[in-house]
């Protein structure tokens, strides 16, 4: 595949496949990853015919995204495919209409939650729109309002006290300062300095559930996080960070919360605590976004807008 500069701000991507040349033009220089994805899409789209089965379209669509999307997303797509009845998979891509698609969603909704239904529909509709340019307005169940509990400092301190001298103490402390679980599990002692954590990788699972250490999903996730020196001193003393699984970590949290009569929340909600606390201390959004490694401020802002004003008087764990 070649990326050619045509003028000051225009570029052309060109690739030969089975004796035919495929080209795409850009008003900017695309990344290698973006260009390859777009060329793959062009090739796949041209090699689908109106009478091809939906099952073939699904497979080609997923395969074209293997090197573009995260392994967890690919794994989720393949899980969705298993949920589609054979009668729908055997339909030709051109014969799918609004009624057939709504019936598929209605059947799927009988055994799944609204958030999963929305994601499932997003995947199916993306495949249909890609190969046919059809867009159907489908009725989906409303998403429930966020009800997840965001802990306050007193609750968090009680949990940290219970976690003291257990394998879960360090990951809970790090999560309280905005680290994602995958980032915590990928850390090595080389990433730890006095009062700073160097975030430069994450742990994910591929579609076969094999652990993989890779670069963070976004450029913004590469960052230096400042934490109290007692946290980095504790890591140096124990000479390890966390060797367990996210499932075990959440199980410990839930057991401890039940014992302390604290409403349940997952380890990921400590990122919400982190963002909310900084926001309520009048830290500018752009700095919160940088410290937490959010690619945009849309998700980051949604984290703390629904939380309790009680957090205004609470300090971080420093």
- Asked if residue 280 belongs to a domain, the reply is yes
Per-residue pLDDT tens over the stretch 121-157? 999 999 999 888 888 989 999 988 767 788 888 999 9
What would the mean pLDDT of 101-117 be, rounded to a whole number? 95
**pLDDT(240) > 80:** yes
Residue 287 neighbours by CB under 8 Å, 6+ apart: 278
Residue 301 confidence (pLDDT): 66
**How sure is the predictor about 292, in pLDDT bands with cuts at 50, 70 and 90?**
confident
Q: Does residue 57 belong to any structural domain of this protein?
A: no
Higher pLDDT, 299 or 160: 160
pLDDT in tens, 33-84: 888 888 887 777 776 766 789 999 999 899 888 877 878 889 899 999 999 9
Task: State how far the Cα of 176 lies from the Cα of 178, in Å rounded to an integer.
Answer: 6
pLDDT tens digits, one per residue of 174-207 = 999 999 999 999 999 999 999 899 999 998 877 6
245 lies in some domain: yes
Determine phi and psi for 180, rounding to 5 degrees: -75, 160
> For position 27, what pLDDT does the model report?
81
Look at residue 119 and tell me if it is in a domain: no
Q: Range of 157's domain?
A: 153-313
Residue 284 has pLDDT above 50, yes or no: yes
b/e code 176-193 from CB counts within 10 Å (16+ = b): bbbbbbbbbbbbeeebbe
Give the pairing of strands 192-193 and 196-199: antiparallel
Q: 243 lies in a domain?
A: yes
CB distance 114 to 235 below 8 Å: no
In a domain, 36, yes or no: no
Q: Does the structure show a pLDDT above 70 at 101?
A: yes
Q: How many independent structural domains does the chain possess? A: 1
Q: Give 77-127 as a DSSP string.
A: HHHHHHTS-HHHHTSBGGG--HHHHHHHHHHHHTSS-HHHHHHHHHHHHHH
Any domain includes 130 = no
CATH of the domain at 171: 1.10.443.10
Answer whether residue 59 is part of any domain: no
How high is the pLDDT of residue 257? Answer: 96
């Amino acid at each position: 595949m070649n990326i050619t500069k045509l003028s000051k701000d225009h570029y052309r991507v060109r690739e030969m496949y089975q004796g035919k040349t495929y080209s795409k033009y850009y008003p900017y220089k695309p990344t290698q990853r973006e260009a390859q994805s777009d060329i793959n899409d062009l090739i796949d789209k041209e090699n689908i015919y109106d009478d091809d089965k939906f099952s073939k379209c699904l497979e080609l669509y997923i395969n074209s995204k293997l090197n573009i999307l995260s392994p967890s997303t690919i794994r989720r797509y393949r899980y969705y495919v298993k949920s589609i009845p054979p009668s729908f998979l055997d339909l030709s891509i051109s014969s799918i209409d609004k009624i057939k698609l709504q019936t598929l969603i209605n059947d799927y909704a009988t055994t799944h939650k609204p958030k999963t239904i929305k994601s499932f529909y997003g995947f199916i509709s993306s495949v249909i729109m890609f190969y046919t340019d059809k867009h159907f307005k489908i009725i989906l169940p409303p998403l429930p309002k966020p009800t997840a509990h965001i802990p306050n400092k007193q609750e968090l301190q009680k949990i940290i006290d219970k976690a003291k001298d257990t394998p879960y103490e360090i990951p809970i402390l790090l999560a309280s300062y905005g680290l994602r679980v995958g980032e915590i599990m990928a850390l090595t002692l080389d990433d730890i300095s006095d009062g700073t954590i160097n975030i430069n990788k994450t742990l994910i699972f591929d579609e076969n559930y094999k652990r993989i250490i890779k670069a963070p999903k976004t450029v913004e996730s590469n960052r230096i996080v400042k934490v109290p020196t007692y946290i980095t001193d504790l890591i140096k003393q124990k000479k390890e960070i966390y060797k367990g699984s996210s499932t075990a970590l959440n199980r410990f949290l839930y057991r401890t919360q039940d014992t302390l009569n604290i409403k349940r929340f997952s380890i990921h909600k400590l990122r919400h605590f982190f963002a909310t606390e900084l926001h309520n201390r009048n830290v500018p959004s752009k700095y919160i976004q940088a410290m937490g490694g959010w690619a945009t401020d849309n998700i980051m802002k949604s984290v703390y807008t629904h939380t309790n004003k009680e957090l205004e008087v609470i300090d971080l764990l420093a």
